[in-house]
Amino acid sequence: MAEFIRDLKRTHSCGELTAKDVGKEVILFGWVHNRRDHGGAVFIDLRDRAGLTQVVFEAEAGREMHDLAQELRYEFCIGVRGKVVSRGGNVNPRLVTGEIEVHAAQLAIFNRSETPPFLIEDKIDTAEDKRLHYRYLDLRRAPLQQTLMKRSEMNAVTRQTLNRLGFLELETPFLVKYTPGGARNFLVPARLSPGKFYALAESPQLFKQLFMVAGFERYFQIVKCFRDEDLRLDRQPEFTQIDLEMSFVTQDDVFAAVEELVTALWSEVLGVEIAKPFPRMRYEQSMREYGNDKPDLRFGMQHVDLTSLIAEFKGAGVPMWQSFATAAPGQIVKALRVPASANFSRTETDKLEEIAKGMGARGLARAKIGETGEWTQSPLAKSIAKEARDAINAATGAQAGDILLFQFGKEAMVHTVLANLRLHLGKRLGLIPEYGTPDPKRADSWKFLWVVDPPLFEYNEELKHWVAAHHAFTRPHDESIQYLETDPGKVLCYRYDLVLNGFEIGGGSIRLHDPAVQERVFAAMGISPKEAEQKFGFLLQALRFGAPPHGGIALGMDRLAFLLTGAESLRDVIPFPKTQKGTDLMTDAPGDADPEQLRELHIAVTYKPQT
């Protein structure tokens, strides 16, 4: 008899047979998704990556085959030869292939399966650590398969689009020299240079600039990056970027290229046409109204800055606000208005305070607005001056029944607390979903935004000097350069972040290619020319050999896929992700090193696990 695979090749997938195929002899390979054994007839849903097809094994089609069919269980890997038959009145409308079924004439069990630890169903109801332990089974689920197939498509569209725009796909090394600053690097011992280490590249940043110096003009790469930092819902220790760099461009040119790419992804993978150009917002406005540089513009509830108002009223009579009677740098007062329609109970407001405290707040002062604008249920009510209260009501637009939430103190803390409270309230009030996009086919479900013109430096309290907010090679605005020596905090630059629905999906800059300005930038950070040479020598040297003006961006491919597919977690768009502690539950990485390996590397482990 003809043997499957050797003689009998697969003719169709399990997702494509319809009424027009009735009468055909077909050969299908796949996994037993479900079985319904009626004694005389065994029904099997056969699954492959394309879908499900019902296969029927009837007693009269052959005793031997029917007996074998009764042995089938979940996840057996099988081959079937049979005839496509119309289901007549028994159509299953929930299956693409529901009009037909395959009446089997020949069955082979390629491999039996142990009872799987969880069922391979679309609906995920298994704890994530168990899914990760048996990731190869989890990846059999249709939603994950579809997500990864979309990701594959995204890769293809990225390559097509960027090729069309004249970008060259060039590779850069993973094993690189450690450069200080930025993310913590993973270290790799260099056996051939005893006692020395490579770093795993946290990004191809320096190398892509060298491609520009070399004259490639337009570079891109879909590339893994490695950062040894703590994980979050949207952060993995190894992740993928669409990295690109362009010569002879302004910021607007970079935006145009990226918008071309992103709209192509949404159009071709999702079938949604996103309007170009994307809106832009200045960094200053983003911080003021949303408390971070990645505002979710799907809903309002902006922060209201009351710092100058409180200073104007000399603290407004409120004891807690006396330190704000005069505006002090780095200290702010802000409010968030919860509309009356939220109908928040006391308990719920208390819960908000707990959330705030969890993020470093000392408390969460609040005020419920009464019919005549008076404040109730508020620790501020007794002491607040009436004029100040009315001014705050006016500034926040507070109406009767609304609740005002106040946060004051260090700017960074106030921003963190209120930015997260705003998102929490947005979800709680149903203005945005917990995750994903309820209506992904609608263009206005997608709020793309460029956040532009941020400061070049930020002041580091610990180091007591200015440090680069992005990296030291970002080009300042020409009109800002005059402040490099006198007021570094005022220097804005050509750095930009692309934000989608509250997630940063990309960031980049126009690079600084003028050695004279570069020197002044280093000086502002207290870095001497000699020191700069030590840290960034090869790049600085390269820039002195006729470097073209250039700039670029890196887009987070995992986050793009995460948002585009509406996944619940970044882990759902990565085939083999790590846990929050950076471990792999399937392979049990990281593991111990063999003493012999360590000897070869001249490494001694001094860590002693606590007992």
Partner RNA sequence: GGGGUGUUAGUUAAGCUGGUUAUAACGCCGGCCUGUCACGCCGGAGGCCACGGGUUCGAGUCCCGUACACCCCGCCA
- Of 46-65, which residues contact RNA (CB under 7 A)? 54, 56, 58-60
Q: Which one, of 312, 504, 343, 340, lies nearest residue 419 by Cα?
A: 504
Nearer to RNA, 119 or 601 (CB): 119
- With CB under 7 A as the contact rule, which of the stretches 16-24, 158-166, 540-548, 578-586 interacts with RNA? 578-586
Is there binding between residue 177 and RNA (CB under 7 A)? no
Task: Report the residue from 166, 194, 330, 360 that binds RNA according to the rule CB under 7 A.
Answer: 360
DSSP H helix total and E strand total for the chain: 15, 23
130 binds RNA (CB under 7 A): yes
What is the C-alpha separation between 136 and 586, in angstroms, rounded? 9
Binding of residue 155 to RNA (CB under 7 A): no
The answer to whether 588 contacts RNA (rule: CB under 7 A) is: no
**Residue 62: CA count within 13 A, CB half-sphere:** 12
Decide: is 37 part of the binding site for RNA (CB under 7 A): yes
474/547 Cα distance (integer angstroms): 14
Report, in Å, the least distance between residue 531 CB and RNA: 19
Least distance from C-beta 369 to RNA, angstroms? 28
Beginning with the edge strand found earlier in the chain, give each strand of the sheet holding 175-176 in spatial order: 175-176, 196-200, 187-190
Choose which of 280, 420, 459, 481 interacts with RNA (CB under 7 A).
Answer: 420
Q: What is the DSSP letter of 533?
A: H
Q: Does residue 229 belong to the site contacting RNA (CB under 7 A)? A: yes
Question: CA 565, 571, 577 angle in degrees (round to 5)?
Answer: 140
With binding defined as CB under 7 A, does residue 128 bind RNA?
yes
Residues in contact with RNA, total (CB under 7 A)?
Answer: 68
x/- letters, 512..551, toward RNA (CB under 7 A): ----------------------------------------
Contacts by residues 592-600 (CB-CB < 8 Å, ≥ 24 positions apart): 600/191
The answer to whether 78 and 72 are in contact (CB under 8 A) is yes
Residue 150 — φ and ψ, nearest 5°? -65, -40
**Nearest to residue 226, comparing CAs of 172, 184, 178?**
184
Residues 314-353 that bind RNA (CB under 7 A): none
Cβ-count burial 439-467 (b if 16+ within 10 Å, e if not): ebeeeebbbbbbbbbbbbbeeeeeeeebb
Tell the smallest beta-carbon distance from residue 374 to RNA (Å): 33
Return the range that interacts with RNA (CB under 7 A); candidates 17-25, 223-231, 368-376, 473-481. Answer: 223-231
Q: Is 92 in the site for RNA (CB under 7 A)?
A: yes
CB 225, CB 201: distance < 8 Å: yes
> Contact with RNA (CB under 7 A): which of 235, 314, 428, 535?
235
Cβ-in-10-Å burial (0-12, 13-18, 19+) of 40 comes to exposed
> Between residues 79 and 291, which has the closer beta carbon with respect to RNA?
291
Site membership for RNA, residue 34 (CB under 7 A)? yes
Which residues contact RNA by CB under 7 A? 34, 36-41, 43, 45, 54, 56, 58-60, 73-74, 87, 90-92, 94-95, 98, 101, 115, 117-119, 125-130, 182-184, 202, 227, 229-235, 293-294, 357-360, 412, 416, 420, 458, 469-470, 504, 507, 569, 571, 579-581, 583, 585, 610
